[in-house]
Amino acid sequence: MPDQPKENIFLFVPNLIGYGRIILALVAFYYMPYDPVIGSICYITSGMLDAVDGYAARALNQSSRVGAMLDQLTDRVGTCGLLMVLCMLYPRWAIVFQVSTALDITSHWIHFYSSTSLLKSASHKTVDYGSSILKLYYTSRPLLFFMCMGNETCYTMLYLCYFTPGPFLFPFLEVGLFDLLFFVSLPVAIAKAFCSWLQLKGAMCAIADVDVEERKQLKNN
């Protein structure tokens, strides 16, 4: 019986979508400092494709560790790139964006490492530690989508507000659409930052537990 051809994981449909997301993000980063139209369209499109690649992976049975890592990296690079632009546009608030960047990267990286490498979970979205809030955050797809969407909306609207407040849908309020969406999504972004802190704390405790267990085994031997 002839050997079946080896699958090329890098050419899986969800991974191809991931490459497209990276290209769109790079184009967005180039235009963002001076062209909010092209910059925001490319960035938002890249973010929306995040839901598409996950759906494609499940529908085509093409889930892979490469895809999971690519998805995580693309999400982090996209958000961090936007936060860097916000540091340029709002230098007085740079420390806020820098802390947000650090928290986002560290919490997701440590969580990914602990869940997939140490705890041997099939997915980084499987949570075996931490608070009930964090478990709900990862087990409820609608909640996870809402939190991620709200977080991205907050930063994107803040970016657009630098150039224009947006159309005035309610003239008597004297608040533009972009301003309104920013203030509405701000609590969601704060809540997501809190979840990132819980994620960081839980993952660190899980890694420490592994250390303790390994040291016990060494002493017993």
C-alpha to C-alpha distances, 171 to 145, 176, 177, nearest whole angstrom: 31, 9, 11
pLDDT of residue 34: 94
- From the list 182, 180, 195, 106, the residue with the least C-alpha distance to 148 is 195
Residues whose CB is less than 8 angstroms from the CB of residue 88 and which lie 6 or more positions away in sequence, other chains included: 33
What's the pLDDT band for 122 if we cut at 50, 70, 90?
Answer: very low
Residues whose CB is less than 8 angstroms from the CB of residue 183 and which lie 6 or more positions away in sequence, other chains included: none
- State the DSSP string of 117-178: IIS--SSTT---SS-HHHHHHHH-HHHHHHHHHHHHHHHHHHHHHHH-----SSGGGT--HH
Three-state SS for 35?
coil
pLDDT of residue 119: 59
Mean pLDDT of 8-12: 92
- Looking at 50, 53, 71, 75, which residue is catalytic? 75
Q: Using CA of residue 89, residue 95, residue 97, residue 101, what is the dihedral sign?
A: positive
Mean pLDDT of 185-200: 95
pTM: 0.87
Q: Active site includes 75? A: yes
pLDDT in tens, 40-66: 999 999 999 998 998 899 999 998 889
Is residue 123 scored above 70 in pLDDT? no
What's the pLDDT band for 216 if we cut at 50, 70, 90?
Answer: confident
What's the pLDDT band for 4 if we cut at 50, 70, 90?
Answer: low
